[in-house]
Each structure stands twice: as C-alpha cells, then as structure tokens.
Chains A and B, each alone.
Chain A
Amino acid sequence: MANILAVDDSASMRQMVAFTLKGAGHQVTEAVDGQAALDVAKGQKFDLVLTDVNMPRMDGITLARELRSLPNFKFTPILMLTTEAGLNKKQEGKAAGATGWIVKPFNPEQLLATIKKVTG
C-alpha cells in the first residue's frame, strides 16, 4: 500500500493518524514538525504527505512549499490537516503547492476515505 509521511506536533493526533493508516495496511513515517518532516523527506520518497498546519519550527504551509522544490516531491500529493474552516489557510496551502486538505475534526473513516482519493 502507500508509503505515507504523517506530520503533526500533537502526539495524540499523530498516534491516531498513524494507527488508522497502519490499520489500513499503509506504511507510516511520523514527523513532529515541518522541519523534521523535511529532513526525513530529503532522503526518501513518499506516496503521500499528511501535514498539520500549525506547528513549531516549520509550519505545514512552509513544508509544502519546501517539499515542492524537491525533485522527489514535485507531484506527490500533500494534504493539509486543518481546523480552519475559512478559505484563507486552504488557499494559502494551495498556493504553497498543497494538493488538498482534510478538515479537523475528522474520524478514521473520513481520513481513510480521503486518503483513498489520492492513493487510489
């Protein structure tokens, strides 16, 4: 199945996402913030990146922008996990190269359904 990079500064969200994805047979690498994710991403290829927006050191939007500049991540789907119902963050994310978003709160079923869209 898909090899997924899950980025969130909240340990409980990370646990939930990782547990859900692994349960569905995906392979998951976790990162605690944008910077950590970028460090991991530089040496590896992923099928999908799931990232929180608000994080210390490097936020999800900067992460998306940075990832898009790596040859490995030119077309890799990047999904933002965002609580912002408003359009601002979504547009900001899109402008930075994000593929789409999942609005928090989401449950495991919703997460898997959305993942399926991009991992096909």
Chain B
Amino acid sequence: MSIDMEQFKVTFVEESLEGLDIMESVLLDMHPGAADAEAIDNIFRAAHSIKGGAATFGLGDIANFTHVVETLLDEVRNGDRDITQDAIVLFLSSVDCIREMLSADQNGEAVDHAHIEQIKAGLDKMLGSKQESEPDSSVSDTAASTVTKENGWKIIFKPFPGMLRTGNDVVRMFRELAGLGDFSAVVDVENLPPLVDMDPEEAYLNWHITLNGEIEKSQISEIFEWVEDDCELEILPLVDSNTEIVAANSNEMDEITEEGTPVDLQVASPPLERRAEEDRRQESDRRQPARKASSPESSSIRVGIDKVDDLINMVGELVITQSMLSQLGEDFDMGRVERLNDGLSELERNTRELQESVMRIRMLPISFAFNRFPRMVHDLSAKLDKKIELTMSGEQTELDKTVMEKIGDPLVHLVRNSIDHGIETPEARKAAGKPETGVVNLNAYHQGGNIIIEINDDGAGLNYEKILAKAIERGLVGENEDLPEEKVYELLFEPGFSTADVVSDVSGRGVGMDVVKRNIMALGGRVDVKSVPGEGSTFTIRLPLTLAILDGQLVRVGDNTYIIPLVSIVESLLVDQKNVNEIAGKAEVYQLRSDYLPIIRLYEVFGVEPDRRSLDDGLLVVVEGDSKKGGLLVDELLGQQQVVIKSLETNFRRVEGLSGATILGDGTVALIVDVAGVVRLSREDERCSNNQIVAA
C-alpha cells in the first residue's frame, strides 16, 4: 500500500510554522535562569512535534536538526540544564533555521547549509560532552538476529496475572506465532485456581510453545515485545535430536497450510485469513487513487468552524427562499405581486449575507502579521542599544488573507523606521525628560469598509526643517516654497529620500519608504504621517478589507460604463475653458489651483465614441494614482456601488489601463480603470510627442 505523504506535508508545514511562532514568542518572554515549567513544556512540545512530523514526512534534515534542539530542551525540562541567555539566543536562531529549512523545502529552494551547520555546531557544543554517541540499537539488533536463525524454537511463556489488563491478548500473539511457522502449544494449568477463586481478568495459564520453521529469534521477540515486562519469557533454539525432523517438517509446512490442513487449534488458520485480507487491502488500494501531491503554491486556509456553520445556515435559508419563489412562479397571478416582492427582497438579503460570510472565510486576524514584531523589536533594540517596549492592540481585527500577506513587508519597514529613527537612545530620552524605555505601539481597527493600522512611537518625531532642507537640496521643493507640514512629511515617501545622517544597518538608506507607499497604494490603500516634534510620530495605513470587492464610481463614456476606484478619486469638476492650457501644441493640461493636471480623454485611451469631444463644460474626474494626478474626461457620472472584481488576465488577457472587469446588475460588463496605469500612459504619450517635436 503506498500512500503519498506529500499530501500531508502542507498541513505539516503550516502547523510547524505555528509551532515555531509559539516557540519564538515563549522564548522572547523567557528570562535566563527563571524558566517556568509550562513555558518550557510548550516549546518542548512544539519542537517534539516538528521533529516527529519531519521524520514522518521525509524531511530528514529538519528532523535531525530539531532533534538536537529537542534534546537540549528535554534537559532543560528535566532540570538537568539551566536556561541561559546564550541558550535563549541559540534557540531563537534555531527557530529561524527550522523556519528557513521549511520554507526552502516548500519553495524548492536550496538552504544556506553553512548557516545551518553553524547553528547546529552551536547546539552540539551546548549539548557538549554529555552527548556521547548512543549505541545504535537498530544496528545491534540486526547483528544479533543474523546469528540466531534456527530451524525451530521452544518458547516458555508465563504471563504475569495482570498482563491481560494492558489489552494484550494471548490468542493474538499465538496467531502471529502461527503465522511464522509450524506452531504447537502445550498449556500448563498448574496455577489455575478453583473456579470460585478465579478472577476472569487475570492470566493464570503458562505455555510451552514449539515453533518449527526457519525463523529468526527477533521475529519471535517482536511478537512478545509489548509484554516483555509482563511475563516470564524464554526463547530457546531447538537443538536436540529432532532438529532434522523439524527441518523436514518446515519444508512441508507451506504445502500443509496451503491445503488448509489444521495443524493445531484454531490458530493455524490465520495464514489463509491473512492472505484474504491482503487481497482485500490491495483491492481497496486500487479503489483509492493516490491523491496528487499539492504544489507548494497552493496554500490552505484555516477556517473557524463557526464561520462554516454560518455559511451552511445561510445556504439553508437561500434554499428555502428559492423553493418559495419557484412555488410562487408555478401559478403566478398579479394578485401575488406583493409576495413576489417579499421573496425577492428575502433573496437579496440572503445573497448579501452569503457574500459577507464567504468573504469572512478569507479573513484572518491581523495578529498573523503582528506576531513577528516582538522578535524584531527584541533583536533590533539589542542591536541599537535602545530600550523599547512594543505594545499591540486590536490584534483580533480581521482582514483578507491576501492583503495580510502583502502588507507584511511594508509594516516591517515602518516598524523598523520607528525603532531606528523614531525612538532615541536611553541617554537622549533621559535628557529630554522622557522615560528611558521608548514605546512603539501597533494598533489595528476597522473603520467603514477599511482596516486602519497605526504604527506609533513616542520618539523624537519627524524633523520638519531637516526634511525640508533635504528636499530643497534634492530639488524636490523650490527654495522659497511654503509647504504645509503634512506636505513636507509626505516627502518622506519620495524615492531615494533619507534624512538619516548615518546610514545604519537597520535602515536609513532611503530605499523603502517609497516602496512602502507603492505597495500600500497597489493594495488600494494609503498611508499618512502625523508627527509632533519631541513627542513622536504616527504612521497610519488605511487598507480595503479585501481585494475582491471594490468601492467604485460608475462613469459613462458614450455607450460604455467604466468604474473608477473610489479611493483614487480626489474630486470631480466641470471644465472651465480658461483653465485649460496646451503644452507644446499637443498635451493639454488643466490648472487646478496650484496644480497642473494632464487631461486624459478616456474615449481616446479606450478608443470608444463619446457623446462630446469638446472640453468646455466637460466633466473632469480628478484622480491620483502612484502619487501622480490626472483629470479623466468623462460624459457622465453614474452611481457609486460596490463591485466584485473579476480578473481580466484569467478570463481574457492583460489590458493596459484596465485593472479588471465586473458585471453590473443589468448583466452588462463594466471595465475597471487602472488609474495609475492610465495616468502613466498619458505621461508616456506626452513624452513621446515631446520627443517627436525635438526630433522634428
């Protein structure tokens, strides 16, 4: 029977990662010398499970590595070893190593062997001289057994009275013995008490068994393995004069059992029974096609049973409504219009609830993303000689799994920034009259259809002058330009912008804040900064709860309906011809207060026939994508509604300027405008035309 172990590996990796998270968080709370038994038990159990699973699912390297960790933890657990700071650090690195090995296996990448060996060497060293190479029992077992193959055995088996209470059964063992060779047993009833004194749960009988056939001693010991301590057992080779007869017998044995001749008692039949069973098993093997190994990409999701129950409930109600409506349809007359309307609104409610429930399945608490921060803050504060306390709130706030995966890196970056640039050194804090320990706070909550994540520190705050000076130096801002505070802080997200005097190991290379912003924008969210000098800064990330649904503004261009994501719309206005300027004869810009926006005629971009081509009194939707603004010329603003995003790439192909499509209530398809893409396209056109002019 071959079962494909790959199918369980995904679960194994998932639960191992969870186990590693537990180990990590317990280790981070642990103080040298004062480990409480429960904490140690928790991490030991996690390591133990990972080791066992890894060995079972064919991940030998991970099993070997984790084995050393487990051995050390076992010593700690048994009180043979104190938990030192070094040990905590080493265990934490081991957690990283195991994590790395797991992900390498998942993604089919190579692991950093040198690094792993280095940690393993550290672990081995810690185990030290205590770990003498244990004699490998399996080797000695086989060595012993090869020399003890005989033609027959005499077994003296005297069960202790309590043996049956462990669930071991003499008949079972005898049946197995009979499966090995020619079996006969003589029962010794000497210890059998009179019936009245007999306790049916106790074993009184002793047995003298003769087993003929070419059998290894280990095969017999294996059958008695579980009862070794519950009986007196002697296994002796048959070496007397009837050896030859035994040998002869054993040659005939196959034949005898084949014919089904009872050799002794009822225990002789099993060989046949076993064969039949094996047939059955093979048959069931064939019926059970091996499931395909799941690819590393196909990740799974853990869903609370309550969410599934909700769904089932909802589907139940939907079925009821459906049958109610179909009954109504069978003999419908106008007198029952009211009931029809009731039914339809019921259906609408069911559908909406069902949609919400399905969406909830993809929702995970943000603690999944927050969990890595205690470790990071711990490591970084040690590295930077700062005292930092991390507080978190709203960890149970849920958001879409995909969004969660994508927000991880930007969050790491922002937290790093707070630690590196925000929180001051203990001395500086003391001098400023603040507690030596700085606080970084992560907070998450829902607001409307969004999740808000705040990263707040009580550090020095952003330096307005320094940022402005830097911006002027880099030519991002004019010398005498007067910018409001928020505008200045927004400069932080410009590519290549860093005010750090010294580029540290942790951050300050100015790479990243722009990436952070871009990643958040790509998720349809945005990030804002607030800062008070001397009191700290707060970065606020606002994200849609899910990527599958979008709040959209429906607009019409000719006969076509397009959807513009609401988050990217700044405002809508009627074009005032006097604000329209032409640059280089081709590109049109619209002056909106101090900004000049390129005018993007949507009908040109998508090649459709509009109601009107003139700009005068036209409708301009001012949008912002990738921090570039533009004005989209449309014919009419329709309603706003939530739309379910259908991917164009999977259903058709990628189209520049469009991010997807959706189906409207009347069944028509509406395309969703990729605002950043359209703005970029228009700028490229401009550049093209400029180049043409230069070339001409």
Residues of A whose CB lies within 8 Å of any CB of B are 9-13, 15-16, 19-20, 23-25, 54-56, 68, 74-78, 83, 85, 91, 94, 97-101, 104-109, 112, 116-118, 120
Contact = CB atoms under 8 A, between A and B. Distances in A.
Given A75-B165, A77-B167, A108-B1, A83 B48 contact: yes
Contact of A23 (B1, B5, B225): B1
Contacts of A112: 1, 281
Given A15-B8, A77-B167, A99-B167, A9 B1 contact: no
A24 B9 contact: no
Contacts of B285: 23
Chain B CB within 10 Å, residue with most, of A16, A85, A109: A16
Contacts, number: 114
A105 B164 contact: no
Interface in B1-46: 1-3, 5, 7-9, 11-12, 14-15, 42, 44-45
A92 B41 CA distance: 18
B15 A97 contact: no
23 contacts: A9-B49, A10-B49, A12-B56, A12-B57, A15-B11, A19-B3, A24-B1, A24-B281, A24-B284, A25-B281, A54-B44, A54-B45, A74-B201, A75-B164, A76-B167, A97-B166, A99-B226, A100-B168, A104-B56, A106-B56, A112-B1, A120-B172, A120-B175
Contact of A20 (B3, B55, B167): B3
Given A11-B15, A97-B167, A117-B172, A108 B280 contact: no
B232 to A, nearest CB: 16
A87 to B, nearest CB: 9
A118 B172 contact: yes
Contacts of A11: 11, 14-15
B1 A109 contact: yes
Nearest to B230: A94
Nearest to A81: B52
B229 interface: yes
Interface in B57-111: 57, 63
Given A16-B5, A56-B45, A85-B137, A25 B52 contact: no
A54 B53 CA distance: 13
A28 B14 CA distance: 23
Contacts of A94: 166, 226, 229-230
A64 to B, nearest CB: 9
A91 B176 CA distance: 23
Contacts of A10: 12, 15, 49, 52-53
B53 A12 contact: yes
Interface of B: 1-3, 5, 7-9, 11-12, 14-15, 42, 44-45, 48-49, 51-53, 55-57, 63, 137, 164-169, 172, 175-176, 201, 225-226, 229-230, 277, 280-281, 284-285, 288
A74 B164 CA distance: 9
A101 B222 CA distance: 12
A11 to B, nearest CB: 5
A116 B7 CA distance: 24
Contact of A99 (B168, B201, B277): B168
Contacts of B42: 56
Contacts of A85: 137
A114 to B, nearest CB: 10
B49 A54 contact: yes
Nearest to A20: B3
Nearest to B278: A116
A77 B164 CA distance: 10
Nearest to B49: A10
B165 A101 contact: no
Nearest to B291: A19
Contacts of B44: 54
Nearest to A16: B8
Contact of A13 (B3, B53, B165, B176): B53
Contact of B11 (A9, A12, A77, A78): A12
Given A15-B11, A77-B168, A99-B166, 8 more contacts: A23-B3, A68-B165, A77-B167, A97-B165, A99-B226, A104-B56, A109-B1, A116-B277
A37 B15 CA distance: 20
Contacts of B166: 78, 94, 97-99
Contacts of B49: 9-10, 13, 54
Given A12-B57, A94-B229, A25 B284 contact: yes
Contacts of B5: 16, 107
A94 B167 CA distance: 10
Nearest to A48: B167
A7 B485 CA distance: 61
Contacts of A13: 49, 52-53, 56
A92 to B, nearest CB: 11
Nearest to A10: B49
B228 to A, nearest CB: 9
A116 B274 CA distance: 10
A20 B288 CA distance: 11
B648 to A, nearest CB: 37
A19 B6 CA distance: 13
A43 B356 CA distance: 38
A54 to B, nearest CB: 5
* 9 nearest CB pairs, A to B: A100-B226, A105-B55, A12-B12, A99-B167, A12-B11, A77-B167, A105-B56, A108-B3, A16-B8
Contacts of A108: 1-3
A1 to B, nearest CB: 9
Given A23-B3, A99-B166, A105 B281 contact: no
Contacts of B55: 83, 104-105
A109 B48 CA distance: 23
Contacts of A104: 52, 55-56
Contacts of B229: 91, 94
Nearest to A76: B167
A39 B263 CA distance: 45
B98 to A, nearest CB: 15
B305 to A, nearest CB: 13
B638 to A, nearest CB: 49
B165 A74 contact: yes
Nearest to B18: A11
A15 B55 CA distance: 15
Nearest to B57: A12
B8 A19 contact: yes
Residue with the greatest number of chain B CB neighbours at <10 A, chosen from A10, A19, A75, A109: A10
Contacts of B7: 19
B9 A12 contact: yes
| Best-buried of B1, B52, B167 by chain A (most CB within 10 Å) | B167
A38 B55 CA distance: 28
A30 B63 CA distance: 25
A83 B51 contact: yes
A86 B229 CA distance: 15
Nearest to A116: B277
Contacts of B168: 77, 99-100
Contacts of B14: 11
Nearest to B136: A85
Nearest to B228: A94
Contacts of A12: 8-9, 11-12, 15, 53, 56-57
